[in-house]
Structure 1
Amino acid sequence: MISCNHAAMLIDKKEATSISFMENVKLKFHVMLCATCKKYKVMSKQIDRSLKKYVRQYNTIDLNLSAEKKDAIIKRLKE
């Protein structure tokens, strides 16, 4: 059986990219037996969803500057 540290690493890796079939089997087995890692997995997914939601909201804000503001910034940088 894998350690809790290894399980946490696999949980995070799985959220970010993908893990191998064997890693997935080991992780599922560990999470079935370990209540702490099971809770960590739930919390990790919740944090990931919240961050994705925040990023989506942030990306809807118009970050374009007017020409006047750009010129003012360039002028200040040249000083």
Structure 2
Amino acid sequence: MATKFKIKKGDQVMVIAGDDKGKTGEVLQVLPKKEAVIVAGCKMAKKAIKPSEQNKEGGFANAEMPIHISNVKKVEA
């Protein structure tokens, strides 16, 4: 069962471990089942996009990846 977290969507957090250590950002999404959060501007990855009706070209887009909840701490804004 997923646990409750003290970090909520919209909170300001600082990454305390990993490649983005020291960066701060807003929590865009909380993933309780994965025990992770998605932070704006942190842990960016290139995602391939297939061509479709809306996007004829396809290509690559940058997207934020989840960060484990233990690797972030809440920052007072």
Q: TM-score, normalised by structure 1?
A: 0.21
Q: TM-score, normalised by structure 2?
A: 0.22
When Rg is computed on C-alpha atoms for both structures, the one with the higher figure is 1
Report the structure, 1 or 2, having the larger strand content: 2
Q: Compare the two structures and name the one with the higher helix fraction.
A: 1
